[in-house]
Amino acid sequence: MFDDLLALFFPESCFACDGVLARGEKYICTKCNVKLPYTDFHVHGATELNPLQRRFWGKVPVRFAFSYFTFQNKGSVQRLLHQLKYKGAKELGVHLGQRYGSILQDHHYHEQFDLIVPVPLHKQKQRKRGYNQSAHFALGLAAAMEVPTVSNILVRTINTSTQTRKDRLNRWQNVEQVFEVKKPETIAGKHVLIVDDVLTTGATLEACAVALFNAGASEVSVVTIAAA
């Protein structure tokens, strides 16, 4: 009864549409859950039918490239990411990770991965925000697939926030240098799943993959919440 009273005065709202959540709904309302732009990338695996996979061809040999959603400007996914990144909705990240993780598990991908590593924030940015949104998505994935996750292996050595205006090539060259692998023995010979919140150019994930390969990872896959 206390919960009901609480819900009456402080109704929880949907992270995707801001509408009031009904009883039994959590984080995202049923209507939004039906309409969200889910991908079928995991159905196609590493084949050419997976458009995200194709984007890494000729760049860096990722084993699998998956994304839970397609990113659309001004859409519900953008609202979800905004809540996760700037409004402290860490539990939403874990929730989405658990949901996508169980889909990946249903397709037996959990047997492939040895370790889940989130794309790090620069420590200044992390201090300011208080958390790394990608690490929370990684926690959910890890729980659903029963694969360990570690967030102190990959570190960002340069703050890239001032680079947004630079052209793509310059940006890639700059980004390439900014990731460093600590404790390479932890990833040596392992298939590492790198986790990010959103993929736009793919430059960040490429740079992470290169850093992990250079440090001795045997295989690298990538997964994001949304891909543009």
Residue 29 vs 147, nearer CB to Zn ion: 29
SS3 content of the chain, % helix, strand, coil (to 5): 45, 20, 40
- The stretch near Zn ion (CB under 5 A) out of 13-21, 137-145, 152-160, 182-190 is 13-21
21 binds Zn ion (CB under 5 A): no
Which of these ranges, 19-27, 137-145, 178-186, 200-208, lies near Zn ion under the rule CB under 5 A? Answer: 19-27
Burial of 15 (0-12, 13-18, 19+ CB in 10 A): buried
Task: Please report whether residue 89 would count as binding Zn ion according to CB under 5 A.
Answer: no
Q: For Zn ion, give the closer residue by CB, 20 or 43.
A: 20
DSSP string, 24-43: T-BSB-HHHHHHS-B--HHH
Nearer to Zn ion, 17 or 103 (CB): 17
- Antiparallel, parallel or unpaired: β 154-156 and 179-181: antiparallel
User: Is 150 a binder of Zn ion (CB under 5 A)?
Assistant: no
Considering only residues 14, 94, 175, 217, which one is a binding residue for Zn ion as defined by CB under 5 A?
A: 14
Interactions with Zn ion, residue window 27-86 (CB under 5 A): 29, 32
Least Å from the CB of residue 223 to Zn ion: 24
Phi and psi (nearest 5°) for 217?
Answer: -65, 140
Would you count residue 144 as binding Zn ion (CB under 5 A)? no
Q: What is the Cα 128 distance to its own chain's centre?
A: 20
* 114 exposure class (CB count in 10 Å sphere: 0-12, 13-18, 19+): middle
Q: Is the Cα torsion angle 26, 131, 155, 202 positive or negative in sign?
A: positive
Residue from 16, 153, 187, 192 in contact with Zn ion (CB under 5 A)? 16
If binding is defined by CB under 5 A, does position 96 make contact with Zn ion? no
By the criterion CB under 5 A, which residues form the site for Zn ion?
14, 16-17, 19, 29, 32
